[in-house]
Structure 1
Amino acid sequence: MAPTPRRPVRVLVIDDSALVRKLMAELLSADPRIEVVGTAADPFIAREKIKQLAPDVLTLDVEMPRMDGLTFLRNLMRLRPMPVVMVSSLTERGAQVTLDALALGAVDFVAKPRIDVARGLAGHARLLCEKVRQAAGARVCRLQPEGIAAPVAGPIGYRTTDRLLAIGASTGGTEAIRSVLASMPADAPATVIAQHIPAPFSGPFAQRLDRHSRLTVVEARDGEQLLAGHAYVAPGGRHLRVRRGGARWYCELADDEPVRGHRPSVDVLFESIARHAGGNAAAALLTGMGDDGARGLLALRNAGAATFAQDQASSVIWGMPGAAVALGAAQRMVPLDEVATALLTPPPREATANR
């Protein structure tokens, strides 16, 4: 008996611009796996169309008349949680609002330029469709309070006093990383982070993490020394590597080609740590679309580092951590609320010979 074909993902497009609604509907409808069931010019119209059309995914503009996107999203996630992909401007204001939306439960976002929006969205049509399809299967979280959790207690099981932690993530990662850092003590080892994010968004993202962590969180600068009690976020659009200089580690930023479509790439960061830190490192690959970071996590495990993947039940999208598990790159799968403990208290090292 032939398998029943999966029905297309049903999408409702919400945007106050008639041009953007038309363009988004055309771009999404070009994918046979997506069906645009309707459009709405504001949240009040959207609310009625959600009841009538029962879409699987919403695309939601941040700035709209009568009710802004954040207020609508907050109400939606409280009353009827469902996958939402935000459409945001590539501005500092757009970055702040988008990060707020992700904190409220939005699955992902698509950034549109301020000038020539039509060409900008059309240039990212494939990514837009991919994000909408992935959102349909995402784990949608109800609104969670932000804050700083109680710090992780216990020993830090490293061979030497040299310590380095690394985190990689993509879809769902902004809030997952915030949750992990919020559980870190103020004297945690230096932590480096690669999150797939546009250039205008990484600075505000680092600032947001800093507000919700005991660590000092900054956007990484080229040549900056890595210090305990600090976390360093890869700038959007640039690769972050770690290099050794004597007894110290330093940030190294580069503009070389994207790796598997990403810059910053988690693989690039993890592979540099495998070369320079080896068994003195611990790394976690968190929620995200695709497989970036899986090979790098395997390189870290083979170099003697402690390696972890977020488990499927707590991941918004189990693409990246799932790929790492399939490769045998993770020593353990852990739920999100145990990632900080895992990084700070890694299990005994395993032999790397014959791996």
Structure 2
Amino acid sequence: MSIKVLVVDDSALIREVLTRMLSRDGDIDVVGTATDPIDAREKIKQLNPDVVTLDIEMPNMNGLAFLEKLMRLRPTPVVMVSTLTKKGASETLLALELGAVDFVAKPSAEFAGGIDAFGAGLRDKIRAAAKSDVRGQASRVDAPKVAIRTAAAPDGALIAIGASTGGVEAIRTVLTNMPADCPPIVIAQHMPAGFTGRFAARLDELCALKVAEAEDRMPLLPGHAYVAPGDFHLRVERSSGQLKCRLGQDGLESGHRPSVDVLFTSVAKTVGAMAVGAILTGMGRDGARGLKLMREAGAYTVGQSQASALVYGMPRVAFEEGAVVEQAPIDQIAGRLANALNKVRPAA
């Protein structure tokens, strides 16, 4: 059964390009296009698409305003088509907070890897969106929030988190629940260059922690979280007795850069049993191998539960391969990590 897609964009050229790209492999069927949210509203009623692609800047109604109404009245998987600007990055993150599954950056003349790579990435995101549980997420009632009093641990302890599709909101949920006394947190979220800096800044606004985009050789400090920059692998190394960030642009790993596997593997090797790790929502298998290495090194590991994951791909593979000690709903993961940190013992 093909995936039915409605393309919403005020540019005739973009509508044509997206339609051609999405139709290429035969498993995605563009059942219609719309020029603005008013047009889209009628087409969604008529065509009942599985996934909608949505531009932000459109006449008659802003894409964000339309998205907010759509997710409230008729939850539907939406992939945003965003401009690669500071304003575009901020609006894209807001769209993800409002319930969009994922986003793609509009291709430009200097698009890395060219138009074919853009098309392949877009098709993958549409497939992930079609499998996502936006209706379940919209109806899910969070458990009452119990404040975590402390996540203190010995010097040298570390928290590692990896995610992909749906991860922006999942990571926000975990980090906003973590107290300011927690060990350093390192994060690999599949996200292109140009968006990770704004993502880190947004988390910094919302959390008790200090959140920043990771820089090469940046020391890892308690009460701080470090987001892998788009198009860079993030590794953890020990230098002069201190844990530090190391960035690299070596080849894609598990199809990604940043790769969760690369981050987790470095944590297993460098931090061992003094680490704790979480693998969150996302499509594919990135992170399972690295998380298993962490568990084998003595680290506590947790995977996001199926019921709370927007896309139960990466956590499912990690669970099936024995990489996680336990699975938990997203709103309980910070508590599980904090509890595990209380049991961490200093390295001999």
Same fold (TM over 0.5): yes
Aligned equivalent of 1:142, options 125, 138, 158: 138
Which residue is 1:261 aligned to?
A: 255
1: CA distance, partners of 2:258 / 2:162: 10
1:95-133 per-residue CA deviation (whole Å, 9 max, x = no partner) reads: 11110000000001111134478x955432122112112
Counterpart check, 1:207 vs 2:201: yes
Contact 2:209 2:223 in 1 (8 A): yes
Is the counterpart of residue 236 in structure 1 residue 230 in structure 2?
Answer: yes
Q: C-alpha displacement at 1:30, in angstroms? A: 1.8
State the SS of the aligned residue for 2:265.
Answer: helix
What secondary structure, in the 3-state scheme, does the structure 2 residue paired with 1:253 have?
strand
Instruction: Tell me, in whole angstroms, the C-alpha distance in 2 between the residues paired with 1:320 and 1:75.
Output: 30
Counterpart selection for 1:272 from 266, 270, 291: 266
Give the C-alpha shift of residue 18 in structure 1. 0.4
How do residues 1-355 of structure 1 correspond to structure 2 at under 5 angstroms?
7-115=1-109, 121-140=115-134, 141-142=137-138, 151-153=147-149, 160-346=154-340
| Cα pair 1:288 1:321 within 8 Å, conserved | yes
AA in 2 matched with 1:135: A
The structural deviation recorded for 1:326 is 1.2
1 CA distance for matches of 2:331 and 2:148? 10
Cα distance in 2 for residues equivalent to 1:66 and 1:315: 34
What SS does structure 1 have at the residue aligned with 2:60?
Answer: coil
2:223 partner amino acid: G
Letter in 1 for 2:130: A
Which segments of 5 or more consecutive residues in structure 2 lack a partner in the other structure? none
1:46-73 alpha-carbon deviations (Å, 9 max, x no partner):
0001111111110111111111110110
**Deviation per CA, 1:161-206, whole angstroms, max 9, x where unpaired?**
4311010001000110011000010111110001011110000000
Distance (Å, rounded) in 2 between the aligned partners of 1:54 and 1:193: 36
Distance 1:69 1:165 in 2: 36
CA contact 2:151–2:178 (8 Å) conserved in 1: no
Cα distance in 1, alignment partners of residues 114 and 169 from structure 2: 26
Q: 1:200 to 1:36 in 2, by over 3 A?
A: same
Deviation readout 1:216-255 (Å, 9 max, x if unpaired)? 0001111111110000011111111100124320111111
Give the superposition deviation at 1:150.
5.8
Whether contact under 8 Å (1:239, 1:255) holds in the other structure is yes
Gaps of 5+ in 1: 1-6, 350-355
Partners of 1:18 and 1:131 lie apart in 2 by 22
Same amino acid, percent of matched pairs: 54
The alpha-carbon deviation at position 153 of structure 1 amounts to 2.8
**Distance between the aligned counterparts of 1:262 and 1:280, measured in 2?**
26
- Secondary structure of the residue aligned to 1:251 is strand
Count of residues paired in the alignment: 337
- Report the 3-state secondary structure (helix = DSSP H, G, I; strand = E; otherwise coil) of the residue aligned with 2:82: strand
Q: RMSD value over aligned CA atoms?
A: 2.0
Identify the range of structure 1 (298-307 vs 239-248) with the bigger mean alpha-carbon deviation.
239-248
Deviations 1:284-309 (A, max 9, x none): 00001111100000000010000111
CA contact (8 A) 1:195 1:266 kept: yes
Output the CA distance in 1 between the equivalents of 2:85 and 2:109.
11
Q: Which amino acid aligns with 1:142?
A: A
Give 1:221's aligned amino acid.
E
TM-score, structure 1 as length reference: 0.90
Task: Tell me the amino acid that sits aligned with residue 319 of structure 1.
Answer: G
Q: Does structure 1 retain, via aligned residues, the 8 Å contact 2:83–2:106?
A: yes
Distance 2:190 2:110 in 1: 24
Give every structure 1 segment of 4 or more consecutive aligned residues whose post-TM-superposition deviation is greater than 6 Å. none
Given that residues 254 and 261 in structure 2 are in contact (C-alpha distance below 8 angstroms), is that contact kept between their aligned partners in structure 1? Answer: no
* Counterpart Cα distance in 2 of 1:327 and 1:303: 15
Mapped contact 1:89–1:114 kept (Cα < 8 A): no
Q: Secondary structure of 1:264's partner? A: coil
1:243 and 1:250 in contact (8 A); partners too: yes
